[in-house]
Amino acid sequence: MSIKPFLPIGIGSLPHKDPFKASETILNYFPESPYWPQLPCKDLREGMLVQFTEGMPGVAMDGEKVYFHSPFYPAAEWEKFYEVSSENPLDHFAMGREYASGFYALLELLKDKKPILIKGQITGPITFGLGVSDEKKIPILYDPNLKEMFLKIITFKARWQERMLSGVAPEAETLIFFDEPILSGYGSISMNVGKEEIIECLNKVISALDGLSGIHICGATDWSLIMQTGIKVIHFDAYQFFSNMLAYASELNPFLLNGGRLAWGIVPSEEESLKKETTPSLMKNLEEKIDLFIREGIREEILIRNSLVSQSCGLASMSTELAERALHLTQELSSVMKKKYCP
C-alpha cells in the first residue's frame, strides 16, 4: 500500500443538504483522500439502512422505516434479481442519484483532481441484516433467502462503487468501508449471531473488491474477530473506546505487520467534546495512546507507518459548522503528525 502515514479520512455522513457543497468541503479539507458524503438530512433515502436497498427484491417502506416482504414476493422482482445476478449485476445494482447524491457530486468534482486515495462506504452485512426486518419483524439476516440476496447485492454495490471511483481517478488507491455499528453489541444476549457467521459475511462482501477494504465500528467490540477477516483497514473510536482496542494489542501487532492499517477515530463526533478540543490537545491525546501501544510491544515505526486519522463517527447529527470543524481538526492533526513523524 502506498498510503501515507497519518493520512486523513472521513466517515461518510455529513449534515449538509447540498451534495456539491458537501463534496467541495471534503475536497477542501482532504484533497489527497476524499470520500463521498452521505446526506441523510437531505433525503430519507440517504439514511444508512435505506441507502443501499435500491434494486433489492421485496423491499418496502412503512413511513420512514424500511422492511422486506417474505421471499419470494413480489415474484417479478425476485425473478429479475436472479436473472441479472448472473449476467451484468454491477450496472443493474448501481446507486441512483436519489439514493447517493453525494457520490455523483464527488465524481464530477474529481475529474480534474489527483487524489492518492478515494474512500467509499456501504452499510455492512451484519448491521444491515440485523437492522432491517421482514414483515413479521424478524431480522432478515435470519432468513436464508433474504440473507443470500442482500449479501450478493451489498457485494455488487461495493464493487460498483470501487469501479466508479477508479474510473475518475485511476491512479488513486480505493478504500471501501463497511460500516458496522451494530458490532459494538457483539457478545450481548440480544445479538444472536456467531463469530463464524460474522467472519463469513464480511469475507463474502469484500471478496469482489480489487482495492482496499475497511470497517468502521463506533464502539467496543471483539477486534480479534475482525482481524480474522480479510479487512485491511480497521477504524475505531479512539476518543472514547481506546482501552477496548488496547486490550487487543497482541492481535493488532500481527495485523499491522501483515499490511493492515489502523484508522484512529480520535477527533470526537460528539458536540460538546468537539467544541473543547484543539489540534494540540488531540495531538497530545493521540501520542499518549500511541505510547500505550508501544508499551504493549507494538514497534513504533510499524504503528506510525500504518496509522490514519479520522473522526470517531459520522457527523450528520451536528450542525454544518461543527461538522466542518471536525474535518478541519482532522486535517490539522494529520498535518502536524506527518510533520513530526514523517518529515
Q: What is the mean pLDDT of residues 61-90?
A: 93
- Between CA 7 and CA 331 the distance in angstroms is 9
Q: What does DSSP assign to residue 58? A: T
264 occurs within a structural domain: yes
Whether the per-residue pLDDT at 178 is higher than 90: the answer is yes
CATH number of the domain encompassing residue 103? 3.20.20.210
More confident residue, 113 or 188: 113
Q: State percent of the chain over pLDDT 70.
A: 99
The sign one gets for the Cα dihedral 84, 90, 93, 96 is negative
Q: Are 313 and 237 in contact (CB under 8 A)?
A: yes
227 occurs within a structural domain: yes
59 occurs within a structural domain: no
User: What pLDDT is recorded for position 86?
Assistant: 86
Number of domains in the chain: 1
Q: What is the mean pLDDT of residues 126-141?
A: 97
Give the chain's mean pLDDT. Answer: 96
Whether the per-residue pLDDT at 2 is higher than 80: the answer is no
Whether the per-residue pLDDT at 171 is higher than 90: the answer is yes
User: What pLDDT is recorded for position 192?
Assistant: 85
- Between CA 58 and CA 67 the distance in angstroms is 8
| pLDDT-wise least confident of 12-26, 181-195, 197-211, 260-274 | 181-195
Q: What is the mean pLDDT of residues 300-313?
A: 98
Task: For residue 189, name the pLDDT band (cuts at 50, 70, 90).
Answer: low
Whether the per-residue pLDDT at 248 is higher than 60: the answer is yes
Q: What is the pTM of this model?
A: 0.96
- Between CA 94 and CA 279 the distance in angstroms is 39
More confident residue, 22 or 112: 22
User: What pLDDT is recorded for position 130?
Assistant: 96
User: What pLDDT is recorded for position 343?
Assistant: 77
Query: Taking Cα atoms as reference points, which of 260, 305, 267, 313 lies closest to residue 286?
Result: 267
Q: State percent of the chain over pLDDT 90.
A: 93
200 occurs within a structural domain: yes
Whether the per-residue pLDDT at 1 is higher than 60: the answer is no
* Amino acid of residue 200: E
* Amino acid of residue 236: F
228 occurs within a structural domain: yes
* Tens digits of residue pLDDT in 86-133: 887 899 999 999 999 999 999 999 999 999 999 999 999 999 999 999
301 occurs within a structural domain: yes
76 occurs within a structural domain: no
292 occurs within a structural domain: yes
Which grid coordinates are listed for 214? 475497511
User: What pLDDT is recorded for position 89?
Assistant: 84
Please spell the DSSP secondary structure of 157-181, one letter per residue: HHHHHHHHHHHH-TTSEEEEEEE-G
User: What pLDDT is recorded for position 186?
Assistant: 85
Q: Are 127 and 120 in contact (CB under 8 A)?
A: no
Q: Which domain holds residue 151?
A: 7-54+89-341
Q: Are 261 and 308 in contact (CB under 8 A)?
A: yes
User: What pLDDT is recorded for position 97?
Assistant: 97
